[in-house]
Structure 1
Amino acid sequence: MTRSPLWLALPSRFAALPRTRARIVLGVLAVLLLASLTALGVPQPAPDAAGAGGDRQTDVALYEGIVAAVTHGQDYYRAAADALRAGSYPLRPFLTFRLPGLAVVQAALPPGVTLALLYALAAVTGFAWYRRLAEALPGLAPRLFVLFLLAAGMLAFVQPALIAFHEIWAGLLVALSLALRRPGQWVEAASIALIAMLVRETAALYVLVMAGLAFAEGQRREAIAWIVALGVFAGVLAAHAVAVHGVTGVLDAASPGWTGMHGFGLFVRAMSLATGLQLLPAVAAALLVALALFGWASWRDPLALRAVATFAAYAMVISLFARLDTFYWGLLIAPAFLAGLAFVPDGLRDLTSRALDTRRVRVHRVER
């Protein structure tokens, strides 16, 4: 018999699991919690891990310098090449150059207007997520809790010092796209995701996940929309590669590559540093990252499925390819990530209840 939900409007995904499957899922959760603690053994990046770019704040200074040069009339690609060389950054392959859109827009607007746009985007994204999550969390206490979690997840996204950092804008756009997508309503989501890709190309992974899930669910028109967005992005990226080739040469420094292979622990650290979890002890932060993933998996909803798939995809990419100094890739999924903790009470209660259920169905034969 399914028990009444604690916080959720409807029972969690685990409320009706057979005992054996519930025990398997409980074992997977235990492994996930243990795996999260590997973050404690991930080494700190060396001071010169990527030239001057080993520190995120230095990266911000680089982008601010490029914006300043474009503001004074310099061509974006020439300004970017000069700034990268001056900072001892790699210039090859072409992906070491950010796409020009964000810098060009920032150069065209007064700083106060750009900051207002960032705050507006953060507010709209937060409201969109609260509206979606409030549908699943009818009580006042869980709604207040999820507001706190959204604020903690967006802590880095309202810092004026990071306004030139591409992941800040792209992360908010990815989160807004995910919040706006509903069954049969995907035009706005795909359009916003395209903008996110044009700000930071790593947002393309999110679009691939959304396209794959749409195909898997038989939503052909939606899947085509996501593929079209990817096609437009691919065309822009090709033009970007040609432009970068025009300002670089074989003597320019090359990137050390993206084969970090630091494992799940680096993903856990990335999410800790990208959210308010950075204020907690490392052990607590690591365990909460794992519990947030579990919480999202507990919610039985198409939005939760897409969130889990997106988080899992970025977890895999960061675990396999991110270097120690590129932990900021986690910002792409940070805004809504911690909201999964709001689903943990129902998910954990239902899972343990089903796993520990010892009731048996007895059949009595009655002879007449």
Structure 2
Amino acid sequence: MVAAGARGRWLSAPGRLTGVARRPARLILAAVVMLTIAAALAVPAAPTPPEFLHDAVVATIRHGGDFYDVVRDLLRAEPDACAARLLPPALAVVEAALPAWATTALVAAALTILLWAGGLRIGALLSRSSAALLAVSLLAAGIVASAALWLAAPHAAAAAILSALAIVVRHRGQAVAAAAVACAAALIDPAALVTIAVLGALALLDGDRREQAAWLAALLVAAAVLALHLHALSGVLLPPDTMPVGPALARLVGAAFPDVPAGLAAPLLLLAALGWATVGDAIGPRVLGVMIAGVALDGVGGLRSATLPVALVAPGLALAPAALADLVRAARDRRRITVTRVVR
């Protein structure tokens, strides 16, 4: 719902930069300008590494093969073996059991649910109908980016879609549902453990014991399944990784804004991060935390976590105008205090 009676505001509630003093506002604004220019000039865009094993594994299971037998054989020639070894059988088994059209329908249904739930959640942050429409349109762009990611890396796309859904449904006592969705994401791609860790850490700061227990349970279940999966593949000698993989930040830029030149996509990513960082709602730190942690932890143990926030990057651009307006307004503040002496 868009708040009525807030015609002068862009956001339905004051942002974190509302009322900032003039000097800090100028420093932050200068930093934003410099970082935007640096991002445009220095940050490239890189494609997401394709999951070569997935189609072969699905085809083998459909013909009666065993997941672990075929993975042990294929890993010996996999150019990105360290990352491929981490992927559990959940997605391949489900996809092998369904016809291709059913898999496509499931993905489309998940994206539709994300568009509906995310549109309601993010639209409520904005006070104008035009702003809410912009946010939903940008969320639709994030949905398209997630669909494009599915074509190259189904596990990474499933983790990104379910991570985004967990973030947007975690609201008004829905922490258990959010933890269950994030746990499902981690059972498909262990990179979503980053999502669970970030949302669980923020739950610790909030002090909600019920939510803390939900995220702890999700973490334990996903970690246990990953441990069993890795135990089943123990003893497999992995070849050295020969696949060229771009930097994590460059892959997030390329996945969040596909077909957009890097010189434009990188500054857009920075502005989206600014929007999420400054919105005065609990969803902001969670999206920003997944963005930062996903890039920072990408490659650790073979995880490919940089693309986790793909679906929610673009909607952050709808929140950035309020932050920039607050900074410009505070930086231009020329109010003076006049002291008048009265002599009697």
Number of matched residues?
339
Structure 2 match to 1:351:
327
Q: Against the structure 1 CA distance between its residues 41 and 309, is the aligned structure 2 distance closer, same or farther, given a 3 Å change threshold? A: closer
Q: Residue type matched to 2:25 in 1?
A: A
Structure 2 match to 1:64:
55
Deviation at 1:5, TM superposition (A): 4.5
Are 1:79 and 2:55 matched, yes or no?
no
- Superposed, 1:168-179 pairs within 5 Å as 168-179=157-168
Structure 2 match to 1:205:
194
Unaligned ranges ≥5, structure 2? 1-5
Say whether the 8 Å CA contact 1:102–1:199 is kept in structure 2. yes
Q: Residue type matched to 2:65 in 1?
A: Q
Structure 1 residue corresponding to 2:217, chosen from 216, 224, 228? 228
Say whether the 8 Å CA contact 1:270–1:329 is kept in structure 2. no
Structure 2 match to 1:304:
284
Unaligned ranges ≥5, structure 1? 46-54
Q: Please provide the CA RMSD for this pair.
A: 2.9
Please give the alpha-carbon distance, in whole angstroms, between the structure 2 residues aligned to 1:163 and 1:119.
Answer: 16
Runs of 4+ in 1 over 6 A off after TM superposition: none
Q: Against the structure 1 CA distance between its residues 220 and 317, is the aligned structure 2 distance closer, same or farther, given a 3 Å change threshold? A: same
* TM-score, normalisation: structure 2: 0.88
Please give the alpha-carbon distance, in whole angstroms, between the structure 1 residues aligned to 2:152 and 2:95.
Answer: 9
Please give the alpha-carbon distance, in whole angstroms, between the structure 1 residues aligned to 2:202 and 2:53.
Answer: 37
Task: Say which SS state the counterpart of residue 57 (structure 2) adopts.
Answer: helix
Deviation at 1:75, TM superposition (A): 1.0
- Percent identity, aligned pairs only? 33
Task: Say which SS state the counterpart of residue 258 (structure 2) adopts.
Answer: helix
Structure 2 residue corresponding to 1:25, chosen from 15, 22, 28? 28
Q: Against the structure 1 CA distance between its residues 254 and 350, is the aligned structure 2 distance closer, same or farther, given a 3 Å change threshold? A: same
Task: Say which SS state the counterpart of residue 127 (structure 2) adopts.
Answer: coil
Please give the alpha-carbon distance, in whole angstroms, between the structure 2 residues aligned to 1:88 and 1:134.
Answer: 43
Structure 1 match to 2:3:
none
Q: Against the structure 1 CA distance between its residues 145 and 267, is the aligned structure 2 distance closer, same or farther, given a 3 Å change threshold? A: farther
How far does the alpha carbon of each residue in 1:84-109 deviate from its partner, in whole angstroms, 9 at most, with x for none? 33x44354x58624111110111111
Say whether the 8 Å CA contact 1:137–1:143 is kept in structure 2. yes
Structure 1 match to 2:97:
108
Structure 1 residue corresponding to 2:239, chosen from 239, 248, 253? 253
Deviation at 1:299, TM superposition (A): 1.0
Q: Against the structure 1 CA distance between its residues 221 and 278, is the aligned structure 2 distance closer, same or farther, given a 3 Å change threshold? A: same
Q: Against the structure 1 CA distance between its residues 273 and 292, is the aligned structure 2 distance closer, same or farther, given a 3 Å change threshold? A: same
Are 1:270 and 2:246 matched, yes or no?
no
Q: Residue type matched to 1:310 in 2?
A: V
Are 1:282 and 2:262 matched, yes or no?
yes
Q: Residue type matched to 1:294 in 2?
A: L
Q: Residue type matched to 2:12 in 1?
A: A
Please give the alpha-carbon distance, in whole angstroms, between the structure 2 residues aligned to 1:358 and 1:160.
Answer: 48
Q: Against the structure 1 CA distance between its residues 321 and 22, is the aligned structure 2 distance closer, same or farther, given a 3 Å change threshold? A: farther
* TM-score, normalisation: structure 1: 0.83
Structure 2 match to 1:143:
132
Deviation at 1:312, TM superposition (A): 1.7
Deviation at 1:40, TM superposition (A): 4.4
Structure 2 residue corresponding to 1:134, chosen from 123, 147, 151? 123
Q: Which moved more, 1:226-235 or 1:143-152?
A: 143-152
Deviation at 1:161, TM superposition (A): 6.8
Structure 1 match to 2:18:
15
Q: Residue type matched to 2:319 in 1?
A: F
Q: Residue type matched to 1:37 in 2?
A: A
Say whether the 8 Å CA contact 1:80–1:97 is kept in structure 2. no
Q: Residue type matched to 1:253 in 2?
A: P
Please give the alpha-carbon distance, in whole angstroms, between the structure 2 residues aligned to 1:218 and 1:163.
Answer: 39
Deviation at 1:349, TM superposition (A): 1.0
Deviation at 1:322, TM superposition (A): 10
